[in-house]
């Protein structure tokens, strides 16, 4: 439908100036942004488009999902080539510092703004791909957010720094299935330490196959490194590539409150008693929670849990799967406990069988128990009260 809407719009409004004029006419309150309602009214008022077409056009155009369309998004919708043109120009820049340096170089008269002639001259010097006057006009219109006929540094930065949604969407497009995601993680993790460093990600994505720029890799890495520890673990990678997986795993985890619940469930659904859950057995366990899951969601959980890649999930892998990331837990614990007595109290909570020892399984899973959560919350509340 998107192609049909754009094709019809371009038949009615064939050049860039007409497209900009339509943006202005749709922008009823003249705030420089088109709301969903303004888009529907503007596109249907003369019966040029149906309300369904207007709604669909809005969804496609609102690339950052903020519920409004600015001139850049509108032009990129109606001039599909503009998105590719801007992406090609962005490849000239290695990051924010390079963007600032080049802006000053391109601003030949030093007035703090780029005219369309300055942009044309700069791209002729630096871009090997031939750009027509129409191409330059489209790029310029995308960048001139306040429609004042010039591009200042703020607008230039916005134009040349890709949005997180654009870059991550491009990355996700290359990995269509959970199997692809798992294979990619293994490939990118060059030293096989179970996480992807920024250097490893840069090596993987800046080659001829993907051809991401350094600043695009920076954006992807920041989006993926949720806990900020300087690495992307498999769970973070899965959340990045399959955004719904974070919701899925939380939904699955909340059903099991302690290690005994997990052990009981493992024993119940390990039907053939081979000490591991197959995909079918895991699916039965997931559905037993009362939640519904799609096949893709089951695949996501299976791949998150199957750490050794043998196609099954053993008890230790299941315990790890049902627990939050270690760095997340440690950070929370460190903030909440400030004396040796409090640490001893925590030890007793984790040592659920009172044998005076902390096994790996007990330590991992206790981070997700309701008792520990209560203690952490209580300590945080005490700290708040003291500050008050």
pLDDT score, position 44: 92
Max intra-chain CA distance, the chain: 79
The residues near 81 (Cβ < 8 Å, ≥ 6 apart) are 135, 138
Q: How far is CA 14 from the centre of its chain?
A: 35
Token pair for 379? 């300590």
Cβ–Cβ under 8 Å, residues 141 and 75: yes
Residues 116-142 have a mean pLDDT of: 80
pLDDT score, position 277: 92
For the chain, how many helices (H) and strands (E)?
Answer: 24, 8
Residue 60's nearest CA partner among 85, 80, 46, 87 is 80
Does residue 191 surpass a pLDDT of 50?
yes
pLDDT score, position 111: 94
Dihedral sign of CA atoms 40, 45, 48, 52 in order: positive
Return d(Cα 285, Cα 283) in angstroms, integer.
5
Cβ–Cβ under 8 Å, residues 282 and 305: yes
Instruction: Give whichever of 91-100, 111-120, 145-154 has the largest mean pLDDT.
Output: 111-120
> Position of tokens 């155009």?
61
Does residue 339 surpass a pLDDT of 90?
no
Domains of the chain: 2-78 (1.10.238.10), 94-160 (1.10.238.10), 164-241 (1.10.238.10), 245-321 (1.10.238.10), 329-387 (no CATH)
Question: Can you give the pTM of this predicted structure?
Answer: 0.45
Give the range among 26-40, 237-251, 355-369 with minimum mean pLDDT: 355-369
Per residue in 138-177, pLDDT (tens digit) is: 888 888 888 788 899 998 988 887 766 667 766 766 666 7
Per residue in 279-330, pLDDT (tens digit) is: 889 988 888 877 767 677 788 788 888 888 788 999 988 888 887 554 455 5
DSSP 300-323: HHHHHH-TT-SSSEEHHHHHHHTS
Token pair for 368? 């997700």
How far apart, in Å, do the first and last CA atoms of the chain sit? 58
Return d(Cα 290, Cα 287) in angstroms, integer.
6
Residue 262's nearest CA partner among 377, 368, 376 is 368
Return d(Cα 372, Cα 15) in angstroms, integer.
63
């Amino acid at each position: 439908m998107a192609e049909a809407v754009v094709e019809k719009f371009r038949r009615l409004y064939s050049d860039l100036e007409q497209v900009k004029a339509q943006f202005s006419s749709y922008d009823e309150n003249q705030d420089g942004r088109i709301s969903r309602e303004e888009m529907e009214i503007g596109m249907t008022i003369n019966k040029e488009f149906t309300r369904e077409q207007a709604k669909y056009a809005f969804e496609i155009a609102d690339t950052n999902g903020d519920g409004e369309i600015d001139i850049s998004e509108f032009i990129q919708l109606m001039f599909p080539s503009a998105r590719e043109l801007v992406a090609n120009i962005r490849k000239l820049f290695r990051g924010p510092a390079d963007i600032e340096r080049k802006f000053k170089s391109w601003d030949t008269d030093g007035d703090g703004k780029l005219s369309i002639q300055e942009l044309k001259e700069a791209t002729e010097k630096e871009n090997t791909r031939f750009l027509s006057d129409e191409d330059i006009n489209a790029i310029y219109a995308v960048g001139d957010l306040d429609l004042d006929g010039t591009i200042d540094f703020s607008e230039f930065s916005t134009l040349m720094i890709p949005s997180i949604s654009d870059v991550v969407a491009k990355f996700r497009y290359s990995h269509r299935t959970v199997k692809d995601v798992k294979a990619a993680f293994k490939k990118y993790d060059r030293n096989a330490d179970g996480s992807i460093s920024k250097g490893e990600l840069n090596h993987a994505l800046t080659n001829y196959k993907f051809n991401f720029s350094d600043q695009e890799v920076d954006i992807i890495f920041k989006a993926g490194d949720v806990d900020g520890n300087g690495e992307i673990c498999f769970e973070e990678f899965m959340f990045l590539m399959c955004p719904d997986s974070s919701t899925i795993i939380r939904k699955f985890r909340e059903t099991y409150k302690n290690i005994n619940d997990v052990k009981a469930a493992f024993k119940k659904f390990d039907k053939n008693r081979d000490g591991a859950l197959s995909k079918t057995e895991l699916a039965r366990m997931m559905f037993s929670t009362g939640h519904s899951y799609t096949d893709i969601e089951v695949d996501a959980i299976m791949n998150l849990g199957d750490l050794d890649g043998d196609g099954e999930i053993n008890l230790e892998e299941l315990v790890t799967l049902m627990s939050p990331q270690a760095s997340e837990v440690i950070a929370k614990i460190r903030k909440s406990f400030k004396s040796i007595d409090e640490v001893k109290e925590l030890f007793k909570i984790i040592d659920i069988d009172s044998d005076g020892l902390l096994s790996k399984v007990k330590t991992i899973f206790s981070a997700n128990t309701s008792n520990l959560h209560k203690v952490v919350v209580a300590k945080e509340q005490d700290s708040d009260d003291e500050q008050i």
